Homo-oligomer: A and B are copies of this chain.
Amino acid sequence: MKRIKVSNNVIRRLPRYLRKLDELNEQGVSRISSGELGKQLGLTPSQIRQDFSCFGDFGQQGYGYNVNTLRQDIATILGMDRGFNAILLGVGNIGNALLQNFSFEEWGFSMKAAFDVKPELIGKEVNGVPVLSQEQLSDYLQQNKVDVVVLCVPKEIAVKMTNDLIEQGIDAFWNFTNVELTDPNSDVLVENMHFSDSLLALSYFVSDKADEELARQNRQKRLNNRT
């Protein structure tokens, strides 16, 4: 499978395909064409076929795609069957919410342990995940395979924490700290969940929409005045 350079845009669309295919599966739809899939996702059929063709031939001429097998193929492409291990750092509000609510297993990850400094948390379990002391982290990393670290620590210590971890061999972070960790010159993977970036983009679109509405109304007014 794959082995060509796949663009970031394509990769970002794969999880959307997966979710849509899951949905279709639930609805009992067993086959779908690029045309129909495109309509449901707001993409062109061409784009969908191009996207898939980065990874192989999943369709059948005259028929389309089998929902179930395509879903599995995309899951494989995304690495969902690789049994990646994750640990979580910082069992505060957001860390806790993730442990309680986010189904890591559903997406192919195994959440092995959480770490914090607060004595009242250590030794507890959150949704079946043991909370260990921050001090145990180094030992833990030496004794266990950890593929991804979920970063939920306070802003202030995020950068130092990350650098320590990188030194200990961690090279993939899921970053909830709203701090820019991305070092342009390193090959450490950082996937950001920047809440504020998302809200501000929405803020822009809302502003823009309001401005346009206003402009439209003003045009209308001028037109009315003229008559």
Contact = CB atoms under 8 A, between A and B. Distances in A.
B20 A172 contact: no
A174 B193 contact: no
Contacts of A161: none
Contacts of A174: 198-199, 202
Interface in A1-28: 2, 11-12, 14-16, 18-20, 23
Contact of A199 (B12, B109, B198): B109
Given A11-B201, A79-B206, 15 more contacts: A15-B196, A19-B196, A77-B204, A79-B203, A82-B207, A82-B210, A93-B101, A96-B97, A98-B195, A107-B199, A109-B199, A148-B202, A148-B206, A191-B201, A192-B198
A94 B84 contact: no
Contact of A193 (B78, B147, B198): B198
Contact of A200 (B14, B102, B147): B14
Interface string A166-200: 00000110100010101010010101111111111
Contacts of A201: 11-12, 14-15, 191
Interface in A61-95: 77-80, 82, 84, 92-94
For this chain, the copies found in one complex come to 2
Given A20-B180, A107-B203, A197 B12 contact: yes
A15 B189 contact: no
B101 A92 contact: yes
Contact of A94 (B11, B101, B192): B101
A217 interface: no
Contacts of A194: 15, 19
Contacts of A195: 98, 102, 193
A205 interface: yes
A94 B77 CA distance: 29
Given A79-B206, A194-B15, A23 B200 contact: no
Contacts of A56: none
15 contacts: A14-B200, A15-B194, A41-B184, A42-B184, A78-B204, A79-B204, A92-B101, A93-B101, A94-B97, A102-B195, A107-B199, A147-B206, A171-B209, A174-B198, A193-B193
